[in-house]
């Protein structure tokens, strides 16, 4: 069982989340050679001579490239690349072979449950608040002249995991004795989320 274990710097890209997803992508062509792909081999002038399979992958690549400027680091770029691949593979397998479709669904479900994207925990200059009391004492009720930048995250959210390395870099660049950086898991301490009207729904756009 691999959880969102903290990994240091670039070493996190050797985590099973990345290695196994790359292996999964590489396994597609051997798998497709074992099934009848004739349903997706049709092409015409309107599709620029591309087969249905090639069209699906081309659309995914185009969507990915459009979204790429919004991915702020390699964590997000790779995670979304894997996600787009899984989506296209699911659609293709549904169209050609029910056994292939069910097999991929099971694999993707196992990946989602047991192989989480690793969280960045390299060099940083921020405080991780482990309970609400210490957060309230140091940030909310403190009478010092310090100012805080607080990262409210949820450990189960992929976007939060991807952003953690950026927040660490910001803390190193701008953190000082007057400006402090801190982070608290509002997925675990929902009272903080409620106090500051922070949504912890998976579909939130906050």
- What kind and span of H or E run contains 55? helix 52-67
pLDDT at 65: 96
Instruction: Find all residues with CB under 8 Å of 84, minimum gap 6, and list them.
Output: 60, 63, 64
Higher pLDDT, 178 or 120: 178
Higher pLDDT, 7 or 16: 16
Global confidence as pTM: 0.77
pLDDT 10s digits, 145-200? 889 999 999 888 888 888 888 899 999 999 999 999 999 999 899 889 898 888 88
pLDDT 10s digits, 60-70? 999 999 999 98
Q: Is the pLDDT of residue 102 over 50?
A: yes
Q: How far is CA 24 from the centre of its chain?
A: 17
Q: Which of 27, 200, 37, 35 has the alpha carbon at shortest distance from 108?
A: 27
Q: Which of 176, 148, 157 has the alpha carbon at shortest distance from 116?
A: 157
């Amino acid at each position: 069982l691999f959880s969102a274990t903290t990994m240091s710097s670039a070493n996190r890209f050797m985590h099973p989340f990345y290695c196994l997803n790359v292996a999964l992508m590489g396994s597609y062509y051997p798998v497709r050679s074992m099934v009848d792909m004739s349903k997706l081999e049709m092409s015409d002038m309107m599709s620029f001579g591309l087969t249905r399979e090639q069209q699906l992958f081309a659309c995914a690549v185009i969507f990915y490239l459009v979204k790429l400027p919004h991915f702020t680091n390699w964590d997000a770029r790779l995670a979304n690349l894997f996600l787009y691949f899984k989506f296209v593979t699911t659609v293709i397998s549904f169209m050609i072979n029910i056994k292939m479709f069910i097999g991929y669904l099971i694999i993707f479900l196992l990946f989602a449950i047991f192989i989480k994207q690793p969280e960045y925990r390299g060099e940083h200059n921020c405080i991780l608040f482990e309970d609400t009391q210490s957060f309230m004492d140091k940030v909310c009720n403190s009478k010092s002249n310090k100012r805080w930048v607080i990262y409210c995250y949820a450990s189960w959210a992929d976007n939060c995991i991807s952003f953690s390395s950026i927040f660490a870099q910001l803390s190193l660049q701008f953190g000082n004795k007057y400006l402090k950086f801190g982070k608290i898991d509002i997925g675990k301490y929902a009272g903080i989320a409620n106090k500051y009207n922070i949504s912890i729904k998976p579909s939130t756009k906050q």
